[in-house]
Amino acid sequence: MSKMEFWRNRTVLVAGATGFLGGWLVRQLLEYKANVVAIVSRPKPDSQFYIEGFDERVKVESGNIHDWDFMERLIEANPGISVFFHVAYGADVNRVLREPLECFRSATESTWTVLELLRRKNPKCIAIISSTDKAYGDQALPYRESSSLNPIHPYEVAKAAQDLIAQSYGKVYGIPTAVTRCGNYFGGFDFTFNRLIPGVVKNLFEGQRPQLRSNGRFTRDFLYIEDAVEVQLMLAERVAEDPSLYGEAFNFSYGVRLEVIDIVRRIVELSGACVEPVIGADVRAEIPHMQLSCDKAVEKLRWKPRFSFDAGLRRTVEWYRRYFKRHTATPGEIRGRVAQVAFITMVQQACETCGVF
């Protein structure tokens, strides 16, 4: 069966559709003619999901994935759902440190809620759960699926717990679920500018020197966003045909440790700028070095990425070049728009605190 045939007219539930990975995932599912049901906790106008009008092409369910009553009603009202993707709650170190309980709810409570409801009401539904390389914590490299999970930071703990819950439901209850542990995602439509790659690109297109939180010697492993989407879809397809994969976790990345300072210099070169970054030291509770081994995915799934890191980076820089050319006229206007988004976000957070949303 071809990929298009597998997904055509299949009803797919996506949690985290307004996120970075979620937006790209919805885009690909729509291209494959799937029927998408998207869980949206609150509208996010500055996301691919809304910018590209996906909200008008899918069925939107408004609520929180960790809300048992909401999810029970949703699953009962959509009995035809055959695949569920949990790609909600991306990593934002500072936000997690401020709101650890929200991180635990969004990652952990949501996972056991959905998997338990699927076990009771739709046990044949395939569930692909997005964990992260951060679940391994700080330990010997490269990380392998046989390595123990050693989390400390709240985000690491939440994702490790989510990961283990999914493994348990797959291996103990026979739910067709599997886990992805990916390197850092990068690509277009990432508007979280405190992340490394979009932040550096934004600085350069504003005519500013890139601002680094660290000394630039941290190393990270990466995965271009279009490869990350392919990973999600491919794993769902394989789980559908192979019960031995139930509850299994897989690493996906380029398998290369890249220094932050080297990545910045590559972006500077691609952008045509001639500047040196500003080195900082404002890093809290971050793992200094990370690298994944993808041998298991290569051997069991015959996986390999479509894009190299450099090819993905070129596509990413070019995407932002076009974006800023279309949407901005001057550096001052860029800063004004970013400030406006920041103000709206601040108001939303205040309203949530007061119970308005």
By C-alpha distance, which of 347, 163, 143, 311 is closest to 248?
Answer: 163
Name the β-bridge partners of 278: 211
Catalytic, 32? Answer no
DSSP 82: E
Marked catalytic residue, from 155, 169, 185, 320: 155
- For residue 45, whether the previous peptide bond is cis, meaning omega lies within 30 degrees of 0, is no
Beta strands of 183-248 (E only): which ranges?
184-186, 219-220, 222-224
Instruction: Please enumerate in sequence order all residues whose Cβ is within 8 A of that of 210, keeping only pairs 6 or more positions apart, or say none.
Output: 199, 200, 203, 204, 264, 267, 268, 275, 277, 278
Whole-number Å distance between alpha carbons of 262 and 334: 26
How many other C-beta atoms lie within 10 A of the C-beta of residue 295?
Answer: 13
Whole-number Å distance between alpha carbons of 235 and 170: 14
Whole-number Å distance between alpha carbons of 228 and 303: 12
Annotated catalytic sites, by residue?
155
